[in-house]
Amino acid sequence: MADSPEFTPAKNAATSGEFVRDATYINDRVVKGLEPGSDPVGDKIGEMRWPVEAGRYRLMAARACPWASRTIIVRRLMGLEDAISMGLAGPTHDVNSWTFDLDPDGKDPVTGLERLQTAYFNRIPDYPRGITVPALVDLPTKSVVTNAYQKLNFDLVTEWTDFHRDGAPDLYPEAHRDEIDELDSWIYPTINNGVYRSGFAAEQGAYEKAYDELWESMDRLEERLSTRRYLVGDTITAADIRLFTTLVRFDAVYHGHFKAGRNKITEMPALWGYLRDLFQTPGFGDTCDFPQIKEHYYAVHTDVNPTGVVPKGPNLAGLLTPHHREELGGSPFGDGTAPGPIGIESERVPAGHGAQ
């Protein structure tokens, strides 16, 4: 089954009943120092290097997916819209692929693709793994360059600097990289992936283990964020983006759908203030589409929600209420500036799909 990286059905769990994510990706990189227009360097897919080149690549994403949402946020904060175009798949898909059913005639307007699967097959015929988003596609060949989301985001920050907007933030500052990586070493398995380990567990023991680890880490973050505005340092970093895409989906999806319901984020003062602070920061909340998020989880995950009924709630207007986190010091962009309004109409979240 062609799954997005944010989920795999429970039937793919290990014999212990624990959800196991397939984390094998196409690990090619897009890097500085190569001649624009040149072929990739290297002779093994997954280890090749492609040139940084404006207009050559298209980011294929889906607002429903938290992994793709990270890349959407990074691209916007860095101001790479003119250098890297973006195609958006719809929130649901069949067993074969994400599809571009939001676009006229069901085709991505730049590549003409109906299915993201085609771009994978153009690179690796009969590609055997999940057709995942985000994926960076080479426009001349309409083939996937990479779907390794963490490396892709790192390269957008560190390799595409010639195309960053004025005032772009440093999301992975040298002085804090060890701390960012250390946080990710436990936030990813217990929270980002932990909600899926809870929701897709096939046995009670595996579920309870994932649930307990999730809430141990959430309590740890609640304490950490009670005295600091951001996870690391005094500005937004990659660590905040990685956590945000899980937190913003929590009350609407993970709390009930994934059986993660000890309490809601709205019931945790520090995390709730932190989430509102980020949501109201340009580049974060203005990229969130809640109807798409809910439709994806509740309609696609038939093992978890056999009826396919999508809930109307919860009321998310609280995300727009004052947070007062500025009293803790720091500022979102430090010496940089916020990105301006979203200039590409097709990339704007439709009215009524945010937290209004």
Per-residue model confidence as pLDDT tens digits over 176-230: 999 999 999 999 999 999 999 999 999 999 999 999 999 999 999 999 999 999 9
Position 94 pLDDT exceeds 90: no
Q: Region 227-243: what's the mean pLDDT?
A: 98
Position 71 pLDDT exceeds 70: yes
CA distance 191 to 103: 33
pLDDT class of 231 with cuts at 50, 70, 90: very high
Q: Residue 322 has which token pair?
A: 């004052």
65, 172, 207, 297: which one is catalytic? 65
Per the prediction, the chain carries an average pLDDT of 94
All structural domains of the chain, each given as residue ranges with its CATH number in brackets, are: 10-163 (3.40.30.10), 174-347 (1.20.1050.10)
57, 196, 211, 230: which one is catalytic? 196
CB–CB of 274/325 below 8 Å? yes
CA distance 4 to 83: 25
Per-residue model confidence as pLDDT tens digits over 303-344: 999 999 999 999 999 999 999 999 999 999 999 999 999 999
CA distance 291 to 41: 41
CA distance 64 to 296: 6
Supply the pLDDT for residue 95: 81
Position 1 pLDDT exceeds 60: no
CA distance 72 to 304: 27
Supply the pLDDT for residue 4: 43
Per-residue model confidence as pLDDT tens digits over 138-182: 999 999 999 999 999 999 999 999 999 999 999 999 999 999 999
Q: Is 288 a catalytic residue?
A: no
CA neighbor of 217 nearest in space, from 259, 172, 268, 177: 268
pTM, 2 dp: 0.95
pLDDT class of 15 with cuts at 50, 70, 90: low
Instruction: Pinpoint the alpha helices (H) of the chain.
Output: 66-78, 116-123, 149-158, 177-187, 194-199, 204-224, 238-249, 255-257, 269-279, 290-295
Position 8 pLDDT exceeds 70: no
Supply the pLDDT for residue 206: 97
Give the DSSP letter string of 4-59. -TT---GGGS-TTS---------B-EEETTS-TTPPPB-SSTTS-EEE--TTTEEE
Q: Is 65 a catalytic residue?
A: yes
Residues 6+ apart with CB under 8 A from 337: 166, 167
- Residues 77, 79, 82, 87: what is their CA dihedral angle, to the nearest 10 degrees? 0
